[in-house]
Amino acid sequence: MAQAFPQTLSAITARFGQLPNPRKIGVMVAIAAALALLIGLLLWSQKPGQKVLFANLSDKDSGAVIASLQQMNVPYTIDSGNVIKVPEDLVYDTRLKLATQGLPKSGPAGFELLDNQRLGVSQFAEQVSYQRAIEGELARSIESIDAVDTARVHLAFPKSTVFVREQQKPSASILLNLRGGRILDDAQIAGIMHLVASSVPDLPVQNVTIVDQKGNLLSADANSSGKNPGLDAKQLEYVHQVELSYTKRIEDILSAVWGKDNIKAQVTAQLDFAQTEQTSESFKPNPTPAEATVRSQQTVETLGDGASGPSGVPGALSNQPPGAATAPLVAQNPPGSTTPGTTAATNTNTRHRENTINYEVDKTVSHTLLPTGVVKRLSVAVVVNYKQKVANGKASFVPLSKEELGQAENLVREAMGFNNQRGDTLNLVNAQFADSQVQIPPSMVDKLTNVAATNWLDIVRYLVVGLLAIYLFFGVLRPIMRDLTGNGRRLEPQLASAGGPGMGASHDGHEANQGSTELTSHEELEKQKQEDDARLAVYTDNLAAVKALAKDDPRVVATIIREWMLKEETTQ
């Protein structure tokens, strides 16, 4: 195995030396290109990748970051747009080191302004620092939105007063610098307005103003939609979307039968955008006491022995102690009679019972908020083209039958959700379109022509690539492989014997060309073919004899092969 490699290398070197000079140059160029490509790939694989450290920094921050990187001996590259890149394995470590130095310093300051407060600061300075901190925190929150590049927030706080009528609400103004090609929709603008209004006490949403970098007022539509919800332009867009939805349904279901270009539909929708709230209170008939639900029950029962109970007028006058007793000068009542207001005591018992039951009354209270954008009425118009009919090799347009029109009308009714109580209308017409033409099925030649006309650039590109590949294979790779493997040198001994030794050195270019012309003549080729056939026949006979010998007497063959191996070892 160790001796096979030098032999192979010497054989390749010998074959390379027998190649003509153009072939040698081509082989050397190919080997050099392969080595250069391999070395480039190795260098590229060993080079560490670059990753973005910071991007879109200001010039001042970029200079500070670069100076710090130079002090830390960190390799870096700068691309357009102030994009600073460092090796991929040093990105996070470098960011942490720069963060300890407070870099980059761009961006609004937040509540960190309140970290280092000095003694003796006035109340006005504290209020200004607090306001700056709120503005910075709001700007950072707004900049976290994908479409916003930078943001600035300005808050205006009115002076406090003890008079309620003179109190004013705070206001806010926001300047947004949007990214290239990005816009904010109404929902995002409303979200920013509510974010700021919710972060500042007593700040109404209407007092928030948003302007972009071009000076366009973005908060105008949001404020107008809040003030006049009935005049919102989105309602017209919603109506248009509803009409397109119904139109697409009708055209999709009919185009499956009569073709896409043979159907035209238009839908007019009337929607109700009124916001209605409905509250109703209903009472059911009173049920029987056995089925009714008892709400409350009260029972009062009094038992007595017949004595008169307390009487008189309640109050302070009746509770006074009696005065001094005096004897009347004239007796008003005869002896044996009773005084007024007294009754004779009886021994009969008295009993009094009161029972009060309150039943629940059936009552239903419902509060209903009716949805907006409800379809009140649909008006649909559909036109179906005549169908094409081929008879006796001629094509013509004929109207649809009554059954087909009925089927089309039923399909449209089901697709639109036809409601007679709602007042929907449908008008289906069968007519020939003005731009309709008889379509003849194209032949195979026409199809190929159309494909070639539409994709001629791709066809030319593929042809050029195919021809180039064929040329590289048969014109470059195959001759090189043939020369390296020795298949192209089978004719060299015959050519040398035909020309004689020293032919190339003793003749000039004209004689060499003449000799090569004679060798390549038809007769020489025929002669060479006959010699090759004879040599092949001899080789076939020898091979058959060897096979027969190996089959009949394998020991002789093994002995011969052993002698060859011993001879080869002695020669080496």
* Band of residue 509 on the pLDDT scale cut at 50, 70, 90: very low
The whole-chain average pLDDT of the chain stands at: 76
* Nearest C-alpha neighbor of 138 from the set 155, 159, 114: 155
> What pLDDT score was predicted for residue 416?
92
Residue 349: predicted pLDDT: 65
Residue 344's pLDDT is 45
- Which of 140-144, 220-224, 443-447, 455-459 comes out lowest in average pLDDT? 220-224
Q: How far apart are CA 171 and CA 156, in angstroms?
A: 5
Q: How confident is the model at residue 526 (pLDDT cuts 50, 70, 90)?
A: confident
- The full DSSP string for 217-243 is BSSHHHHHHHH-GGG-THHHHHHHHHH
317 pLDDT band (50/70/90 cuts)? low
Q: Tell me the average pLDDT across 17-39.
A: 78
What's the pLDDT score for residue 428?
92
Query: What span, in angstroms and rounded, lies between the C-alpha atoms of 106 and 519?
Result: 85
Which range has the worst mean pLDDT, 95-104, 306-315, 427-436? 306-315
pLDDT at 21: 79
β 83-87/77-79 pair status: antiparallel
* DSSP state at residue 118: P
Q: Which of 179-183, 472-476, 511-515 is predicted least confidently?
A: 511-515
Confidence of residue 303 (pLDDT cuts 50, 70, 90): confident
Q: Are strands 208-212 and 171-178 parallel, antiparallel or unpaired?
A: parallel
Average the pLDDT over each of 118-132, 157-171, 219-233, 522-536 and give the range with the smallest value: 219-233
Q: Where are the alpha helices (DSSP H) in 47-185?
A: 59-71, 91-100, 123-143
Q: Report residue 279's pLDDT band, with 50, 70 and 90 as the boundaries.
A: confident
What pLDDT is recorded for position 519? 45
Q: pLDDT band at residue 320, thresholds of 50, 70 and 90?
A: low
As a whole number, mean pLDDT of residues 136-150 equals 88
Choose between 336 and 245: higher pLDDT: 245
- Listed range (82-91, 247-256, 257-266, 555-564) with the worst mean pLDDT: 555-564
pLDDT band for position 16 (cuts 50, 70, 90): confident
| Residues 459, 453: Cα–Cα separation, whole Å | 10
pLDDT band with cut points at 50, 70 and 90 for residue 464: confident
Share of the chain above pLDDT 90, in %: 15
Reported confidence tier of residue 494, pLDDT bands at 50, 70, 90: very low
What is the token pair recorded at 549?
């010998």
Of 169-173, 212-216, 262-266, 277-281, which gets the smallest average pLDDT? 277-281
461 vs 168, which has greater pLDDT? 168
Per-residue model confidence (pLDDT) at position 35? 79
Distance CA 467, CA 474 (A): 11
Two tokens at 397? 């347009």
Name which of 60-64, 186-190, 493-497 the model is least confident about. Answer: 493-497
Mean pLDDT of 506-518: 45
Reported as half-sphere exposure (CB side, CA atoms, 13 A), residue 429 has a value of 11
Spatial contact of 143 and 110, defined as CB atoms under 8 Å apart: no
* Residue 123: band (very low, low, confident or very high) from pLDDT cuts 50, 70, 90: confident
- For residue 115, what pLDDT is reported? 67
Element counts in the chain: helices (H) and strands (E): 17, 15
Tell me what the mean pLDDT of segment 46-73 comes to. 80
pLDDT at residue 489 tops 60: no
CA–CA separation, 152 and 140 (whole Å): 9
Highest mean pLDDT among 240-254, 261-275, 342-356, 539-553: 240-254
- The phi, psi pair for 285, rounded to 5°, reads -60, 150
Q: What is the DSSP string of 440-475?
A: PPP-HHHHHHHHHHHSHHHHHHHHHHHHHHHHIIII
Measured CA to CA, the distance from residue 525 to residue 519 in angstroms comes to 8
The answer to whether 386 and 408 are in contact (CB under 8 A) is no
Using 50, 70 and 90 to split pLDDT, how confident is the model at 308? low
In this prediction, residues 51-62 reach a mean pLDDT of 80
DSSP state of 58: -
Beta bridge partner(s), residue 20: none
Per-residue pLDDT, 507: 42
